[in-house]
Structure 1
Amino acid sequence: MTILKKLLRKAGLARTQNPAALEAALQRAAQRGTQVQTVIDIGASNGSWSKTARKFFPTAYCHLIEANSYHQPALATLKRSWEKIDFTVAAAGDSNGEIFFDGSDPFGGLASHDASRDSTAKVPVVTIDHIRSAHTLAPPFLLKLDTHGFEVPIFEGAKETLQETSLVVVETYNFKIAPASLRFHEICQYLEERGFRCVDICDPLFRPKDQALWQFDLFFEPASNSKFLDNTWS
């Protein structure tokens, strides 16, 4: 197992221990009046994130996207038990077709355009814009990415969807975990250039060997939102 995979696995296990932080951030989003008609959960694994989101956006439709077929039974069970839900077993990216994917860790999958020692198998890949069109998903959208450094290709495949997105939630890192990945401040710049500003943060994780900040979730809303015109504290 590579060092990156070990770190991602440890991070994934640690993050399941603090669901209250995510709930609090989603509650703040709902209290701000954020409108969500469809949740697009990218890197959905077994659907636990969408379960939490439904508590605060109970009328929203959920479309879950997960590359690792390991989770297909759990997603199928959710589809049978929920209303207003569907899922796609595929990676999300900047094109439709196939992509390399390392699915050896069910909760730490890594997509890549290029084959590597760990990413040798291929899985289907779809753009978010394709999913949106094929399933006639209705805006405004909440886009959630838990994709371990593969965020830019996903955003590039969601250009039309982002134009009607009210909330973006991205797992970001303080370290460059893959050759083409962006650190958290670069994600902020990338999304600001596309019309979004950071509005919230939750669930920081500190690596155990030196307590350095490792990762956290950032929440973004359209920069055109009137809240960003108010520079006062109270």
Structure 2
Amino acid sequence: MSLITNTLRSLAPHVLIEQHRRKFQMGRLGLPGSKAIAEAVATCRFDLWPPALRQPGQPWTLLDVGANTGEFTRAVSSLIALAGVHAFEPQPSCHTELKQALAGLSNSHLHPVAVGAEAGEIELLCTANSKLASVLKPTANVADGYGGGDFNVQQHLKVPLVRLDDVIPAGTPIGLLKIDVQGYELPVLEGARETLRSTAALLMEVNYVPHYEGGATFDDLCEAVRAHGFRTFGISAPYGGPKGPLWADALFVRAD
């Protein structure tokens, strides 16, 4: 019997278990059990969403702050119908793919800007891994919990800075505001006071250990969202390093 055949036979039980687990999880969410759907669920943390956001036939607007290449928006739009999308991404290197992700989505807008507490201009530190770019400098030891040189700063760019309240029309019904800005969440929230009043849920990456100099921690964000009228709804399993948990995704909903 060939080595390939033996290997396939040894993997078969694991494949069947994974398929059963995926089918069970998707069934609980009322979704087909395909691999593509399961990947979309994981990408946008669909399992953390409150049921009201998952209801078919009730489109809402998505705000994707730190949209990168549009992976998150793609996942969301493959699972539900959206009334509109506002995607904010200051890195020019991401815009071609992000435009492709938005193509075909009704009422979609790409804003090639950073988001913060005031309008103006700010320096963006572009890292080897574009998902880790930030207006804040990575801490000296952050790379210890990750592989490769993902946090290496390769370019400094001056980019426009806007407030969400100056871009999103007041009263726009926002179903989900996703913020992935690598430690700069507090200024984003500060510049979105009016927008948050009509937002149902917030999804943010929360850091358990400092990743960026002056960046918000999990405790900082929990305190801030409570002040804006939100409460914790669910938190994903953490991404861990050699010394313990590093970060997770947290979903917050309006306290009322």
Aligned length: 200
Greater Cα offset, 168-177 or 184-193: 184-193
Identity %: 24
Q: How far apart, CA to CA, are the structure 1 residues paired with 2:197 and 2:87?
A: 20
Residue type at the aligned position of 2:49: A
Distance 1:156 1:57 in 2: 29
Instruction: Name the structure 2 match of 1:231.
Output: none
Q: 2-side partners of 1:218 and 1:36: how far apart?
A: 22
Which AA in structure 1 matches 2:164? Answer: I
Residues 22 and 203, structure 1, Cα contact 8 Å, conserved in 2: no
Q: Give the match for residue 123 of structure 1.
A: 159
Q: What's the CA shift for 1:176?
A: 1.9
**Higher RCO (C-alpha under 8 Å, 6+ residues apart):** 1
Residues in 1 aligned to 2:179 and 2:68: alpha-carbon distance in whole angstroms:
11
1:175 is matched with: 209
Cα RMSD between the aligned structures?
2.6
Distance 2:83 2:239 in 1: 29
Shift of 1:22: 4.4
Separation in structure 2 between the aligned mates of residue 150 and residue 203 of structure 1, nearest angstrom = 22
* 1:31 pairs with one of 48, 51, 64: 51
Pairs within 5 Å for 1:49-64: 49-64=72-87
Partner of 1:194: 228
Aligned: 1:214 with 2:246: yes
User: Using the alignment, how far apart are the partners of 2:76 and 2:117 within structure 1?
Assistant: 25
Contact 1:94 1:153 in 2 (8 A): yes
- Match of 1:103, SS state, is strand
The residue type equivalent to 2:231 in the other structure is R
Aligned match of 2:42: 21
1:7 corresponds in structure 2 to: none
Q: Which amino acid aligns with 2:131?
A: F
Q: Which runs of 5+ in 2 are unaligned?
A: 1-38, 138-151
Instruction: Tell me the equivalent position of 2:199.
Output: 165
Question: Partner residue of 1:84?
Answer: 107
Question: In the alignment, is the contact (CA less than 8 A) between 1:36 and 1:142 conserved in 2?
Answer: no
- TM-score when normalising by structure 1: 0.76
- Structure 1 gap segments, 5+ residues each: 1-17, 225-234
Q: Are 2:62 and 2:176, in contact at CA under 8 Å, matched by a contact in 1? A: yes
Equivalent position to 2:135, from 111, 132, 146: 111
Question: 1:4 — aligned with what?
Answer: none
Write out per-residue CA displacement over residues 156-211 of structure 1, whole angstroms, 9 at most, x where no aligned residue: 1101001111010000100122232221122111111211001011252001x33x
**Higher CA-based Rg:** 2
- Deviation string for 1:200-228 (max 9, x for gaps)? 11252001x33x1000000000011xxxx
Instruction: Assess if the C-alpha contact under 8 Å between 1:37 and 1:138 holds in 2.
Output: no
Of residues 138-147 and 190-199 in structure 1, the stretch that sits farther from structure 2 once superposed is 138-147
Which position in structure 2 is the counterpart of 1:6? none
User: 1 CA distance for matches of 2:131 and 2:106?
Assistant: 25
Partner residue in 2 for 1:148: 182
Q: Secondary structure at the match of 1:74?
A: helix
Cα offset for 1:107? 1.9
CA distance in 2 between counterparts of 1:42 and 1:148 reads 11
Q: CA deviation at 1:26?
A: 1.9
Question: Taking structure 1 as reference, are residues 188 and 36 closer, same or farther at Cα in structure 2, changes over 3 Å only?
Answer: farther
Question: Deviation per CA, 1:27-52, whole angstroms, max 9, x where unpaired?
Answer: 45252456762111011001110111
Deviation of 1:139 after TM superposition, in Å, equals 1.1
